[in-house]
Amino acid sequence: MSAAAAVRWAKRSRPLAGELESGDVHVVSWFPGGVLLAVIDGLGHGHEAAVAARLAATILESDPERPPAEQIAQCHAELKRTRGAAMLVVSLSIVSGTITWSGVGNVDGWLLRAGKRDAMISRPGVVGYQITPPRDRSDVLRAGDLLVLASDGIAHGFCEALRTDGDVDELAETILTNHARAADDALVLVARYQPEVVA
């Protein structure tokens, strides 16, 4: 089964007003039988935040099959000369039918299914500075699962009244338009697992 055919995704982002670069970066990196998703929030905003976030994204994309906690541990080692970042990394394995995630810092993640909204809890810290050792958590991947990952430029509570049955592009646009905070960069990544679309 093609992961690219079974997972639909969209992202929306914008930098802080007056900045040319955003410190919020997303990753969507396909590997055989799955996809790695991430939102990375470089500490603060502007160029230095963007440098940290882009470095983390490059590390994730270099080997997307690695488990999320290992990804974060490597980012922590490599980002020590940067401003640092918060990040949430999610791996969807179509082959094994699992979702695995790990996070550090203030990035929101939600798994929405059948009327349930489960938070993907991150551990305290700043990647590249000081972290609680990351740990993978896993669940069964189910048809229709919706994932929403957001930097802290999206106001907390954005998920409470979110209708989850819409198109991923529309959902991402709605979240950014209605919940982006004026005082920070903002990014939201939405993905839905739809194996029924695979012939």
Summarised one tens digit per residue, pLDDT across range 76-126 is 999 999 999 999 999 999 999 999 999 999 999 999 988 788 999 899 999
150-181 per-position pLDDT tens digit: 999 999 888 887 888 889 999 999 999 999 99
> Residue 3: is its pLDDT beyond 80?
no
> Residue 8: is its pLDDT beyond 60?
yes
How many other β-carbons are positioned within 10 Å of the β-carbon of residue 188?
27
pLDDT at residue 82 in the model: 96
Is residue 129, in this structure, part of any structural domain at all? yes
Q: Report percent pLDDT > 90 for the chain.
A: 81
How many domains is the chain built from?
1
Residue 47 has φ and ψ, to the nearest 5°, of -60, -45
Q: Average pLDDT, whole number, for the chain?
A: 93
Is residue 9, in this structure, part of any structural domain at all? yes
For 51, the domain range is 3-194
> Residue 198: is its pLDDT beyond 60?
no
Contact 189, 24 (CB under 8 A): no
Is residue 92, in this structure, part of any structural domain at all? yes
CA distances for 151 relative to 2, 24, 118, angstroms: 28, 7, 17
Contacts for 10 with CB less than 8 Å, ≥ 6 apart: 167, 168, 169, 171, 172, 173, 189, 190, 191
Contact 176, 14 (CB under 8 A): yes
Range of 4-8, 66-70, 121-125, 132-136 with top mean pLDDT:
66-70
Is residue 199, in this structure, part of any structural domain at all? no
CATH number for the domain spanning 68: value is 3.60.40.10
Is residue 186, in this structure, part of any structural domain at all? yes
pLDDT at residue 73 in the model: 97
> Residue 42: is its pLDDT beyond 60?
yes
Is residue 72, in this structure, part of any structural domain at all? yes
Is residue 44, in this structure, part of any structural domain at all? yes
Choose the weakest-confidence range: 25-34, 37-46, 153-162.
Answer: 153-162
Residue 186 has φ and ψ, to the nearest 5°, of -145, 140
Is residue 35, in this structure, part of any structural domain at all? yes
pTM summary value: 0.94
Structure tokens at 161: 């009244």
> Alpha-carbon Rg of the chain, whole angstroms?
16
Report how far residue 150's alpha carbon sits from residue 34's, in angstroms, rounded to the nearest whole number. Answer: 21
Structure tokens at 100: 């695995």
pLDDT at residue 1 in the model: 54
